[in-house]
Structure formats: C-alpha cells, structure tokens
Structure 1
Amino acid sequence: MEMNGARIIIECLHEQGVDTVFGYPGGAVLPLYDALFRYGKMKHILTTHEQGASHAADGYARSTGKVGVCIATSGPGATNLVTGLATAYMDSSPVVALTGNVAVPLLGRDSFQEVDITGITMPITKHNFIVKDVKELAHTVRLAFRIAREGRPGPVLVDIPKDVETSLCDYVPLQPLEPRKNRYPSPQAFQIAADMLGQSERPMFYVGGGVIRSGASRILQDFLEQVDAPAAVSLMGGGAIPVDSPRCTGMLGMHGTKVSNMSITDCDLLVVIGARFSDRVISDADRFAPQARILHIDIDPAEIDKNIGTHCHLVGDVGQVLEGLSKTIGKKLKHKAWMEEIARRKAKYPIRVSHESRRPKQIIDAISTQLPRGSFVCTEVGQHQMWASQFLKHVEPGHFITSGGLGTMGFGTGAAIGTQCGNPTARVVSIAGDGSFKMSCNELATIARYKLPIVIFLMNNHTLGMVRQWQSFFFEKRYSETTLDTKIDWVMLAKAFGVHGMRLSVNDDPEKVVKEALEHGGAVVVDCEIPIDDLVYPMVAPGAGIDNMLGVDEVTD
C-alpha cells in the first residue's frame, strides 16, 4: 500500500507495539503529527518541554521494559532532547527518539531551525540515523527499535527530513526484527570462573543495573545462596537484592555503607555483575579491592578491563551467564565464617543518622512504610537521591528510577510522568530536591493536564545541598552560589498548575502528612522542610580509598 513517510512511521510504531509516545510538535514534524492525529492508535503525551519528553520516554522504558519513544521538531526541539538521551545512554535505557529536520535539499545550508542532530548525538546514543530516502524509512525505524533493546539497551535517534515525511512509498507490514543472539562464554571460561569461586574464602559481589535490565534479580538471589556470598549494590543496582536480606550489605562507593566498602577492600574475590566500575564506586583505582581477584560478568565487551583489570570475564546476558555458571559449579559452596563476619559488620556500622540526616530519614521511612507493594519511586539528583538510595526499602527490582551515570538534575519529574503513563494502576512518587525541582517544575502542567496521580515529595533545604556539602568539606564553607534564597511558595506554585499542595514542616509528623498525600487520589506536591546543613553520610573524599570514609558511627555496645 502506498502512503507517505509520516504514516509509514506511525505504522512502524504500531508494528513495534508502541502504545504511548511523548513529544512536542513543531514545523519539521507537522506531517508526523498529522499522521498521528489521523491514523495513530497510541496515546500521545504533550510535555511542557522536549527535555521532559525525553526523560518521560526514559522513565517509561525503565519501568516497563519496553522501548520508550519521544518526538521533537528540528533545531532547538531536537537539541532539547540531548540531555535526556545522554541520561538514557549512561544508564542503558532503551529509547527511540524521532526528530524532524529541514528538507533534504536544505541540509547543510544553515536553514531555519536546522542542526546536525546526528552529529551532535553521536557520542550519546547507541546508534543514530538520518533518513534521506523514504524507501529506507521503514527499515530504519525497525532497525532503531532492534538496536535500542538488544544486548546492552540504549537510546537510538532517527532524524527524518520533512520532505521524507511527505514523500510517497509502498509500505509492507512486517513483524518486529528479532534481536541478535547475545554472546555466551565458552565452557573453559565458565570453568575458570567456577574454580575462582570454589577457591575463594571471602567472595564479595558488586551488583549493578545490568542485573535489573536483564530481569535477572531472582536468578542472582538464588546464585548468592548457592555460593554463600554477600553482595553490595551500585546506585543503579538498587532493588536487585532485597535490602533486608542478610546477604545485602547496601550501596557501595562514595556514599555507600561502611560494610560494603570495607568488605570489598577485604575480600579475596570480587564478582562484578552488570556494572561498569564507575569512578563514584571505585574512587582510587589503585586501592580498590586490593586483595581480590576480579571476575566480571557483563553483556557489553567494551566494559571489560576498561576501568579495572580483570582476572576472568564472562561476556553475555547476566541471567543466562549466572545460570550457566551455576550449572558449572554444580554444588552449594560454604563461606560460614565470612558471612558471620559480614553480619557482625552490619551490626557494628549502621548508616549515620545522628543529626546530619535524621529528618530526611524520617520522611523517607514514612514514604517507604506507606507505599503499597508495586509502587515506583523516581528521584531527582542530589542529597535527597542518596538518602532515598540509603533508606528506601525497595520492594521490587526496577522500581527505583534514578539518574545514575549522568546525574541529571531535572530528571525525576519527567521520569515520573513516563513511569505513571507506563504503569497507570501503580502508585508513583518522586523524591526531589528544591534545586532539581526548579529545573523541572514546568512539567506540573503535564501532570495536571493528564490527571496523573503522581506525588512529589520536595526535600526543601533552600540550597543546592550536595554542592553545599562539598563546599563544607573541601572549600572551607565558602558557599558560592548554592544558597537558594528566592522566596518560592511551592504550595501556591503547585496550585497555580492545578495540583494539590501540602506542607511538611520540621515539627510535623511525617507519617500523618505522607499518609494524607498518598490518600489524596490526585497529583500532590509536598513541600518537606529539612535543615540546610543536613549531610549525606558516609562519604568518601575525592581520591581516597573507598574504605577511608567520613562520618561513620560505630556501635560499641
């Protein structure tokens, strides 16, 4: 059947099972929006800003496991997607961005609203395309979806000149392209890894977001039981292991637990699964796991030996690899003395909550206690993000949606929109800081427009808290441009957008206010006042070894 390029795009989206797209119209995508209006059977969410659309597509992808889709026009519309694409790229989130561009004859002529968006996004996408011939359009869109979801997921951008959207071409429907098979380790590699685990007396696991992307959390938990070992999680790995498990030592790295960092320093074998040795995890590479041999399991061969040298690596889908390794080991290992030492350390070194983080912990404890099973928690970036990662009780893997690799302030509100759209019956909350929320509060208009029952808990300390914390520790308390003393009434601002606003003062009972907010039934912004100098502890100073931590309280009784 002959149809124009814009309709071909819509038909290809239907082929891929897309039910929701996020975007903002403009001149270069008018044919696409016309086709969406005339032929689309999917929901379009009009965000307030293109960056919000990219974060929403990302949140949708992370929370559903599907590919998130966002649309933007040429020029500034396309460049407004850049931060969101970089965020998705750093955290391995499958997103397809469709951008319009000027007509093919106008490319490269500095035409109105023209940018080389494929050149701009080349370093921050898994792949990108510009389609200059309508005959290549359907195959390119299909290929973009396959690339986004296969192997290590990531964002893909397809740039479509306006005349390609209006050109005619025969369209033949096809089933989605099958992803290519993942690499799988050799029997010899499995045996080397099994021998390393069998010879170890103090094995320690470092678990990253790849476990969640793979859907391998249950497999990992069974494997930890088989090899009788503890595990620490990265920020992106939060929820991969139940926090109340005796095997879970909490987060590791700059704001990790003393138990995790100390145990990684003391272990004789470090098994790294679906993680990339981020600098926020390893700090001083020369002092990271100095006594350990390293076994790295990851789907992306580019991550092997990139930051830390390994003694053995298994490249492949982590769930499939763990199942293969389990069969190779073939028996239950025992590390009783090591697990008893881990238990002693967990009792001796709790996360510090004396006065530096008491109020944030009280608020997050109240949120965690009252959220129903199956809820999703999104965050912005900063101190509140670290407190959430430390104190939240993650109920299920993949339900903690945060920007890890890029650390994008302004991520949380858009991500919550995408998460709620992808999970309409689930409770979605966003934990934000006042600095981050100022960058994304315009998306309250989107929340109100679509009546999304998102509850935003605004941890309001009237400062850029994490930056101020660094200024306190390392810049002799010179608080250069980090105090947010603009008098913003967040409750009134929420009401201006048509969203319910509430206050939680430092003297209010968090349980009562959180309960009221969650029972409201609609969108709510809760302005939670916290002291300006509440700190995130523990903390590793830049350049220090991860076992050299500031702010650790020891239980001696």
Structure 2
Amino acid sequence: MTGAEIVLKALKDNGVEHIFGYPGGAVLPIYDEIFQQDDIQHILVRHEQGAGHAAEGYARSTGKVGVMLVTSGPGATNAVTPLQDALMDSVPLVCLSGQVPTSLIGSDAFQECDTVGITRPCTKHNWLVKDVNDLAHVIHEAFRIAQSGRPGPVVVDIPKDVQFATGFYEPPSEHLTQQSYQPKVQGNLNSIRAAIELMATARRPIFYTGGGVVNSGPEASKLLRELVELTNFPITSTLMGLGCYPASGSNWLGMLGMHGSYEANMAMHDCDVMVCVGARFDDRITGRLNAFSPNSKKIHIDIDPSSINKNVRVDVPITGDVGHVLEDMVRLWRALPKKPEKAQTQDWWTSIQRWRARNSFAYAPSNDVIMPQYALQRLYEFSKGRDTYITTEVGQHQMWAAQFFGFEQPNRWMTSGGLGTMGYGLPAALGVQVAHPDALVIDIAGDASIQMCIQEMSTAIQYGLPVKIFILNNQYMGMVRQWQQLLHGNRLSNSYTEAMPDFVKLAEAYGAVGLRCEKPGELDDKIQEMIEVKKPVIFDCRVANLANCFPMIPSGKAHNEMLLPDEATDEAVANAIDAKGRQLV
C-alpha cells in the first residue's frame, strides 16, 4: 500500500467515521485517497483552528477520538490552539499533519516548520514518521494513547514522500503497544478503604467532581450517582464536570469556583472531608491556595498521577480510572459493618440549606431590556425535553450558561475550560452536529467571541448542519469589561466594540437565517422560531450592556470571600465610562 492508503486504512480500522480538515500541498496524497473512498466522511472547515475545535466537540459529545487533518507549516501551527485546548481539557484528539519530503526537512522548505518541536508541549505524544512501514503502527498507537489514561491530543507528522512510498500495512490487532505508557486504571484497594473510612466519619463532607468523571464514560456517572445516594453527601462540580450528576438531584449544589454558587463555595470552604473525583484543583476552583478548604481531609481520585499533589496536598491519593475506583467505593461502602447515622450530617445540611436560601444567581429583572440571565433561562426552558447539546464560546455568557442551564446527563456540555479559547463554540457545535445530526445543537456565544471563528458558518451551510448560534450581544468583551470595572478603576480599555457587524445580515450573507430580539416580550416567540428553523441560525439577542456575572471570587481571594450580586457596587456601574468618555447606560 502507499502511505496515503495506509492512513485511510488505519483510520477506518480504528473506527473513524468523520475527519475535520483543510487540504494543502503536503497532504494532497491523503486527500486523493479520501476522494476515492466513501467509508470516512471528510468535513471541510474554513480554518485549521476550526478543524481542531470541531474534532473536540465531536469527541466530547460521543466519547470517541476526534480526528483532524492539516497540511504542513501554517496548517500545523494553526492547529496549536485546539491541541493545547484539548490537552488542558483532556479531550482525545488525533491530529494528522503533512510535512515536507524527508529530503527537505531542515532546509527551510516552502511551508516547512518543526511540527514535532512546536507541538511537543501541547500534546500527550507526537511522532515524525520517516519510514512508511512504521506508519500503520504509529497511527494505531496514536489512537491508543489519545484515548487511554487521561485522554488528550497526539500528533502524527507525515512527510509527503512517505505518503507516496509503498510499504506493508499492519492491522491494529498485530501492533505492539508502547510499554513505557501503560496507564493504571485500578485504584489501590488499601487507599480506597482508607478513603471510605474517612468518609464514614465525616460530619461536613462534600463530593468535588470534574471532567474525569465524564471522560471515564457513562458508567462512571451512574456509579457516582449511586455513591451520592448511598452516602447522602452534597455534590458540586467544576465547569468541565457538569452533567455527571443531574442538576435536578437533591444533593446538587451547583457549579463551584470563581463564578460558582454561594452554597457550593461555602461548602467547599467549610467541609471536613473532601472527595475530589476526576478534577485537578485548578486555580479557578481553589481561589487563594493557602485559604482553600483549610480544615478538611482531602481524598483525590485521578487517573493522572502527575495531577495528584500538584496544586493541593491531599491526605488519601488514589491513582486510577474514576469508573473503576467508584465501583470499588460503592462496594466497600455497602459492606460497611455500620453505616453513618443521618444525624451525623444533619447540622451540615442545615448550613447548606441556609446558604441555598441566599440566591447567589439573582439579578434585577427588567421589562425594557433583556437581561442576559433571563435570556438563558428562557432558552433553557425551550430546550427542555429535547435532545439538546450546548457548546459555548468564552466569557460572561459561558459562565451564565453554566449557572442557568441544568444538565442532567454527561457529554451534553461542550466548553473550553482550561485554556478559555474564544472561538471554540461554533466549530465545536459543528462537530457535535456531525455526530448527532438530529439533535438540537446550540452555541451560546458572545458578540466578541463569535467573531473569532465566524467563517465556520460556511461549513455549516455546506454540510447542512442546522446549529443555532445564540449571541448575548452586549457590545462588549463582557468579562474583560467586568474585570476592568471591578479591578481596574473603570478604565475600560479596548473592551467596547464599535464596529459591530449586523449579525442578521451576516447570517443571510452565508445563506443562514438571521434573527434579532431586543425586547423581553419578544424573546419566547423568537427562541421558538430559532429552534423550529431547519437551517443554521444566528440569533442576535441584544442584552443589557453592563450586566455583571455574579457570584465572583476576586483573584487572590478565598471561597468565603465571594462577591455576591447584592454586594456589587452600583456606583461603579453608574460611573462607568467608555474609552471616549461617554456615559454607559
């Protein structure tokens, strides 16, 4: 087989049905093979960053590996952002990149770059394949590494002469795995027993869960729900873990962290036993480290040993796959000779109910202007009962979506958590829609973020992907403006956008449907219209310009130093002026 034929055969044998890519000279042999087969559908994006985020959305909504294909030089460098995004959010991604012929490597040839060197810090592993007979083995190993252990992105860099060369194909069943990478999936039983003993003595316990539960698969979410029911512990989640426990569950405290709920953050601060399941103690969660949950014993379950004791010292470390460890925990909890009495945590639940009574997501309603929180509440109501998947861009709208959407299942929420990549939402929505053609896929966007990868509207039209882009248009880079207002003396430097496009006309220019809503009374009818349209839609929802996202833990503060909506200074808002000295209302 030629190297290009080997690539397509290896993708097919690894279960690939869709790839997202953009052609160029260094990958033309592979594209020629794509043209001559029908087993794998290629989705042509408009920018390599879009290919990566689309593959991420595909992977996160299915649990499969996302695949992207890019050419050499700028094709590979444009892939760096989604690769780093996937690395930080543990998304399984295989990036196939073209490279100049081996004889030209190092000569500064046209569209040459050191792809392996550039992507080494933003991948789990990468390869430069110089021998066509190694190609099949490397691709099989790339898929194994991408999806095993802590999932993440890998790169296979393939010179053009290797794609033309002929060699032998090695099926996945015959290739030998890399012995230096054998992730540990079973947790140490003695450590799990120690965790159960600690949990059984807790008076102020909490489950702190993250994206590792989602990545472990649906069975892990079922086991987590079972353990919560058995223990009656309260549970919170990071941004990446939303949906692993149902938002309608009685033990749910909401998301925690910088813009998390009051009850979740206060419970994290005051707990005496914290069970961290598949999360990594990110700075947006911990706040000031030396004030983070100061009086608690900490249990940390993670498949990545490098994440344990990295940011926060823990008392019971458990390295292993979340699903396997939770299975053992459920079994050992059931086998306890004496279950803890309900009275043991009664005072704790009383405190939690008191914190819950303070509505930390409150906002001032209006009959004249659409409040962004209200817009998302209405969108959530209309999405209920449907096969709905939500993606987001990054900013205030992202946090409001996490606050006001209630996710009942995992794999329904696609957002850029660790890297915070503006432009993620639209291409991610395309990847989700490709994987779930009959689902309602909504990208909740900001007017600034959506313009980062707006060209992917053309991809949506070409492939008939009816994604809905719901823009909370406040004319600002909202989160930047909020930080400038609260932390930089209202000096709103370059956060206001004067040359905003007409999003309705922009949608129509692409061949999509454009809708605009400016009054609260029109919102329901317009949302219904958006959902019923069988084409891509850009919904321009004009919202209050200066609404802030609360609660908020200011940088460098502890969980119990949250800034709540009723504590925000009205004076700061009233005195806000733009870069040209005009009053903002």
Please report the TM-score for the alignment, with normalisation by the length of structure 2: 0.92
Q: What pairs up with 1:198-237 in 2 under 5 angstroms? A: 198-215=200-217, 216-237=220-241
Is the aligned partner of 1:90 residue 2:88? yes
Distance (Å, rounded) in 2 between the aligned partners of 1:12 and 1:176: 12
Aligned-partner SS, 1:160:
strand
Q: What pairs up with 1:301-450 in 2 under 5 angstroms? A: 301-329=305-333, 330-331=335-336, 332-333=339-340, 334=342, 335-354=345-364, 359-371=371-383, 372-450=385-463
**2:184 maps to what in 1?**
182
How many pairs does the alignment contain?
552
Is the aligned partner of 1:495 residue 2:495? no
Q: What pairs up with 1:258-337 in 2 under 5 angstroms? A: 258-329=262-333, 330-331=335-336, 332-333=339-340, 334=342, 335-337=345-347
**2:519 maps to what in 1?**
506
* Per-residue deviation, 1:358: 7.1
Is the aligned partner of 1:118 residue 2:128? no
* Structure 1 counterpart of 2:422, one-letter code: M
Deviations 1:77-108 (A, max 9, x none): 11111101111111000010000000001111
Distance (Å, rounded) in 1 between the aligned partners of 2:379 and 2:464: 22
CA contact (8 A) 1:381 1:403 kept: yes
Distance (Å, rounded) in 1 between the aligned partners of 2:6 and 2:467: 34
Q: What pairs up with 1:158-177 in 2 under 5 angstroms? A: 158-175=156-173
Deviations 1:462-512 (A, max 9, x none): 110000000000111111111011041000001000000000113443221
**1:4 maps to what in 2?**
2
* Structure 2 counterpart of 1:63, one-letter code: S
Aligned-partner SS, 1:547:
helix
Distance (Å, rounded) in 2 between the aligned partners of 1:136 and 1:433: 45
* Per-residue deviation, 1:189: 1.0
**1:78 maps to what in 2?**
76
* Per-residue deviation, 1:118: 0.9
**1:192 maps to what in 2?**
194
Distance (Å, rounded) in 2 between the aligned partners of 1:380 and 1:184: 36
Distance (Å, rounded) in 1 between the aligned partners of 2:491 and 2:150: 42
Aligned-partner SS, 1:432:
strand
Aligned-partner SS, 1:236:
helix
**1:247 maps to what in 2?**
251
* Per-residue deviation, 1:362: 1.6
Distance (Å, rounded) in 2 between the aligned partners of 1:217 and 1:480: 44
* Structure 1 counterpart of 2:184, one-letter code: N
CA contact (8 A) 2:45 2:456 kept: yes
CA contact (8 A) 2:213 2:244 kept: yes
Distance (Å, rounded) in 2 between the aligned partners of 1:41 and 1:189: 46
**1:20 maps to what in 2?**
18
Distance (Å, rounded) in 2 between the aligned partners of 1:185 and 1:398: 24
Deviations 1:30-61 (A, max 9, x none): 00100111135211000011110010001000
Structure 1 residues 509 and 175: CA distance shift in structure 2, 3 A: farther
Distance (Å, rounded) in 2 between the aligned partners of 1:163 and 1:508: 62
* Structure 2 counterpart of 1:200, one-letter code: A
Q: Which moved more, 1:336-345 or 1:354-363?
A: 354-363
CA contact (8 A) 2:370 2:519 kept: no
Q: Which moved more, 1:469-478 or 1:501-510?
A: 501-510
Q: Which moved more, 1:501-510 or 1:276-285?
A: 501-510
Q: Which moved more, 1:406-415 or 1:373-382?
A: 373-382
Q: CA RMSD in A?
A: 1.7
Aligned-partner SS, 1:550:
coil
* Structure 2 counterpart of 1:510, one-letter code: L
* Per-residue deviation, 1:514: 0.6
* Per-residue deviation, 1:246: 1.9
Distance (Å, rounded) in 2 between the aligned partners of 1:383 and 1:72: 32
Aligned-partner SS, 2:167:
strand
CA contact (8 A) 2:137 2:172 kept: no
Deviations 1:234-255 (A, max 9, x none): 1101111111222111111111
Aligned-partner SS, 1:540:
coil
Distance (Å, rounded) in 2 between the aligned partners of 1:172 and 1:318: 33
Aligned-partner SS, 1:295:
strand
CA contact (8 A) 1:100 1:162 kept: yes
**2:550 maps to what in 1?**
537
Which ranges of structure 2 fall in alignment gaps of 5 or more residues? Answer: 568-585
Distance (Å, rounded) in 2 between the aligned partners of 1:432 and 1:366: 15
Distance (Å, rounded) in 2 between the aligned partners of 1:490 and 1:236: 29
Distance (Å, rounded) in 2 between the aligned partners of 1:507 and 1:289: 41
Query: Which of 537, 547, 550 pairs up with 1:524?
Result: 537
* Per-residue deviation, 1:355: 5.4
Q: Which moved more, 1:32-41 or 1:334-343?
A: 334-343
Distance (Å, rounded) in 1 between the aligned partners of 2:476 and 2:209: 32
